Amino acid sequence: MPELPEKPTLEGLEKKWSAAWEADGTYRFDRTASRDEVFSIDTPPPTVSGSLHMGSVFGYVQTDANARFRRMQGRQVFYPMGWDDNGLPTERRVQNYYGVRCDPSVPFDPGFEPPAQPGKDALPISRRNFVELCHRLTAEDEKVFEQLWRSVGLSVDWDLTYATIDERSQRASQRAFLRNLARGEAYASEAPTLWDVDFQTAVAQAELEDRDQTAAYHRVRFHRPDGGEILIETTRPELIPSCVALVAHPDDERFRPLFGTTVRTPLFGVEVPVLPHRLAEPDKGSGIAMICTFGDTTDVVWWRELKLPTRTIVQRNGRFQTARPEWLPSGPWDDLAGSTVKQAQRRIVELLGESGELVDEPRPITHPVKFYERGDRPLEIVTSRQWYIRNGASDPELRSSLLGAGTDLAWHPDFMRVRYEHWVEGLNTDWLISRQRFFGVPIPIGYPLGPGGEILHDQPIVPDEASLPVDPSSHVPPGYTEAQRNQPGGFTGDADVMDTWATSSLTPQIACAWEDDPDLFARTFPMDLRPQGPEIIRTWLFSTVLRSRFEHGSLPWTDTTINGWILDPDRKKMSKSKGNVVTPMPLLDEHGPDAVRYWACRGGPGTDTAIDFGVMKVGRRLAIKLLNASKFVLGLGGAGADSAAAVTEPLDLAVLAALAEVAEEATSALDGYDYTRALDRVESFFWRFCDDYVELVKGRAYGEGPPAASARAALGIALSNLQRLFAPFVPFATEEVWSWWQEGSIHRQPWPDGTELRAAGGAGQPALLAVAADALGEIRKAKTEAKRSLRTDVVRATITDTPERLAALRAAESDLREAGRLAELVLLEGEGLGIDVELAPPE
RNA sequence: GGGCGCUUAGCUCAGAUGGUCAGAGCACCUGCCUUACAAGCAGGCGGUCGGGGGUUCGAGUCCCUCAGCGCCCACCA
């Protein structure tokens, strides 16, 4: 047994024990364990191209506390760590970091090295070089994250890591997609889709966000054949050239006579019909709207349901097409050709003013506009061919089955379930998974080319599962040769990659090695726990439930814990743009990992929590107290060696019985993922233990004979239990104090559920400890109020209390005398606690 | 427009199924060098539990309503 330190300190514990845990394989998963012995966690793969901030620490530490509890309960914890490195965030980071951009038309350069400093203009490089840079940079980013996780003491098994772009993930992702395709759960379709003109890719419903934008209502004249006019209001006058109809509510008396007639558009004089539709709202604008292809998603609904023609003028790069559209034989096209949407709007407004078709000044408004969550310009709607996975948006049976899955899943906290339900109920399109990007898992499909070089989309060439993962840009389908690529009569590969969620939705399958390692899979899947943030219930959680339902007909996990938001010290949400992001490393250096973990664990499940340095200080103080209290108890000698059988004194039995209650409550709280409650109960008991119980029995414990042995034994048992009860929360300090007197890591010890304490102190009366502590408190109070030292001798203390409480006090009388330095103690029966203390005169 | 959550001492938060539930820590004040801990110990000050109504013998604790804050969703002419 190592010597007790003269002056215990937290310094150096993180380094010392991180290294020991790594060397000893403390958190290594035992893959011979059977499924019911395993506790498997579907850890969120952090986006490594994102920045490190306290939000990264908060939820992961809470999960780690739960993981450590399960491990001590005897479960084999399957706790892998993934890195989410595929997709647009990585592309963008690589572009900025190296000053490059991907241009698929540039040939591969095997000796390419990025410039030391990013240049002013982005350097165009080949797709393959670009992807290589993505891999290079994410590898660096992943190291930084791993270092952070080790610093805060995550008990992850570092042999079980994966990346969402690695070969195993790609294989799982493509295999799942091909099976979705074979079962009809995935399909391709040519349709209007929301489109980011900067990234030039389609985006999915789950990736949208509304942003308030300033705009203006423009009152514009449409012309009736009889010379009359109809005024419509629009925020997008530049789309007049793509107008295909006007629409009003069927019951709107103002426009009813016009249904079935036609009007001519301003500037261009195109004849369009006036039609009724229930979605037109009489009190919006002028009550009659123009339908364009496409200004917003309502246009798409109208276009589809009213079977209108498509008159697209905005191209995928966000600019008007250059050639004059054939449906605009007249009108000022040359002024608009090739301009951006913004430029075109300005010009059209000028032209409308000149022609007298603009009524009044434009009226400024602020309204919500759909953006890609990572994008900078409003989304446009373009028609393109995309891949979809069914999600229940247009399939009531699937939808209700998914709602049922949400009910079967145990949510912590439970109210988070409604976010899932609202999302499922509000889905309006299937899940668009294809992206016109570069760094992602390719859609593993090829197509034959017709004699004219046209792509035969209806005859997709599907690779064999054994050949996965494949990259269609280099993969040659059986029966073809590379020379036939992109040649008439030959073949071509699907150029798209999958959305990052299309892969992330398979993290249980990836982590558990679905199909790659059926033995491991059987021992770990379906998993036990999915911890994650609330903002990705609609994406990650939902899509994971969906994929598992399709592939396995089961939930991916039985439980999910949803953490709260991190707010900055002023209770504002942290975000890069506000510049109030708090980075974890300096805080870890200043307060220590246990203190930061304590702060994180004080944030309840699903509860938004502000960064609070005061709470971290409290955590640090707790860890130090744990060192000092342990040192004291162990310094009495015999604590470890005295057997439980020696606990005989009523006060000693009482403390063990009281702690048993705490242990039982902590256990049931943690069983329900309520780590905060467990920590709270253990912590408050611990301080009472130090301040009252230890003070009461200290004198006796120094002595000899059975009463002294009883105190030392009780102190030892209580200490062992307390150390273990704290282990999930402050793993470094608890491991340190455990090592002073025990063999093996504390994190592999049996969880103290109260059984051992009941056995040792079952006859104890917890109330006894409380009564004695109250009396000691009164004596201290008398001394403090007299401004005397607590060492002051008491000539006589007279305590009045109820008979029951006096009986309890008598059982602890000698401890109370010694702790209070009472020469004489008089006990009188009365109504309640009263005390009269006569202090020894000052010297 | 709809939904969810929050609103308890100056600050951060506990208060499971309504009856010692008005608490803890921080901060502040007053003391104490007490041989585990002065990064400590003892004590004190401090709140009509967001507003209003209701149910009940009794409500931070249940119901209704209003307000503020945060988040999520919504077809944004």
Using DSSP bridges, classify how beta strands A100-102 and A123-125 pair: parallel, antiparallel or unpaired.
parallel
Separation of alpha carbons A315 and A188, rounded Å: 21
Nearest to A378 by CA among A240, A528, A208: A208
Torsion of CA A694, A696, A702, A707, to 10 degrees: -110
Q: Give the nucleotide at minimum CA-to-C1' distance from A537.
A: B72
Burial of A455 (0-12, 13-18, 19+ CB in 10 A): middle
- Measure CA to C1' and name the residue nearest B24: A684
The integer distance in angstroms from the CA atom of A211 to the C1' atom of B75 is 16
Amino acid at A595: A
Q: Give the nucleotide at minimum CA-to-C1' distance from A11.
A: B39
Nearest to A753 by CA among A669, A693, A685: A669
Separation of alpha carbons A608 and A566, rounded Å: 6
The integer distance in angstroms from the CA atom of A145 to the C1' atom of B74 is 37
> What pLDDT score does A206 carry?
78
**Which pair of structure tokens corresponds to residue A479?**
């029966």
Q: Give the nucleotide at minimum CA-to-C1' distance from A618.
A: B25
**C-alpha dist (Å) from residue A553 to A106, A205, A398, A405, A556:** 45, 25, 12, 10, 9
> What pLDDT score does A841 carry?
82
Which 3 state secondary structure label does DSSP give A434? strand
Please answer whether residues A174 and A441 qualify as being in contact, where contact means their C-beta atoms are separated by less than 8 angstroms: yes
- Measure CA to C1' and name the residue nearest B25: A618
- Tell me the whole-structure pTM to 2 decimals: 0.91
Q: Give the nucleotide at minimum CA-to-C1' distance from A211.
A: B76
Separation of alpha carbons A546 and A552, rounded Å: 10
Using DSSP bridges, classify how beta strands A208-223 and A358-372 pair: parallel, antiparallel or unpaired.
antiparallel
- Please give the distance of CA A204 from its chain centroid, rounded to a whole number: 19
**C-alpha dist (Å) from residue A819 to A315, A701, A715, A816:** 85, 12, 16, 5
> What pLDDT score does A615 carry?
92
**Which pair of structure tokens corresponds to residue A250?**
């069927």
Which 3 state secondary structure label does DSSP give A621? helix
Please answer whether residues A791 and A109 qualify as being in contact, where contact means their C-beta atoms are separated by less than 8 angstroms: no
**C-alpha dist (Å) from residue A142 to A51, A723, A749:** 11, 33, 31
Please answer whether residues A560 and A412 qualify as being in contact, where contact means their C-beta atoms are separated by less than 8 angstroms: yes
**C-alpha dist (Å) from residue A636 to A54, A428, A696:** 41, 70, 15
Separation of alpha carbons A263 and A272, rounded Å: 6
**C-alpha dist (Å) from residue A139 to A22, A98, A116, A157:** 21, 15, 18, 18
Which are the contacts of A430, defined by CB distance < 8 A and separation ≥ 6?
A: A388, A389, A390, A391, A393, A394
The integer distance in angstroms from the CA atom of A607 to the C1' atom of B52 is 28
Amino acid at A5: P
Checking ipTM against 0.90, whether it exceeds it is: yes
Separation of alpha carbons A740 and A628, rounded Å: 12
The integer distance in angstroms from the CA atom of A530 to the C1' atom of B6 is 25
Nearest to A412 by CA among A673, A55, A40: A673
The integer distance in angstroms from the CA atom of A69 to the C1' atom of B42 is 36
Q: Give the nucleotide at minimum CA-to-C1' distance from A425.
A: B73
Q: Give the nucleotide at minimum CA-to-C1' distance from A539.
A: B72
Is residue A526 reached through a cis peptide bond, with omega within 30 degrees of 0 on the bond before it? yes
Which are the contacts of A257, defined by CB distance < 8 A and separation ≥ 6?
A: none
Classify residue A486 by its DSSP letter.
Answer: T
Separation of alpha carbons A641 and A716, rounded Å: 9
> What pLDDT score does A185 carry?
96
The integer distance in angstroms from the CA atom of A609 to the C1' atom of B11 is 14
Nearest to A163 by CA among A82, A220, A79: A82
Nucleotides in chain B with any atom closer than 7 Å to protein CB:
2-5, 11-15, 24-27, 30-34, 36-37, 39-44, 70-77
Classify residue A571 by its DSSP letter.
Answer: S
Separation of alpha carbons A50 and A576, rounded Å: 10
| Beta bridge mates, A609 | A566
Taking the alpha carbons at both ends of chain A, their separation in whole angstroms is: 45
Other C-beta atoms within 10 Å of A318: how many? 19
Q: Give chain A's residues under pLDDT 50.
A: none
Using DSSP bridges, classify how beta strands A201-202 and A186-196 pair: parallel, antiparallel or unpaired.
antiparallel
Please answer whether residues A224 and A263 qualify as being in contact, where contact means their C-beta atoms are separated by less than 8 angstroms: yes
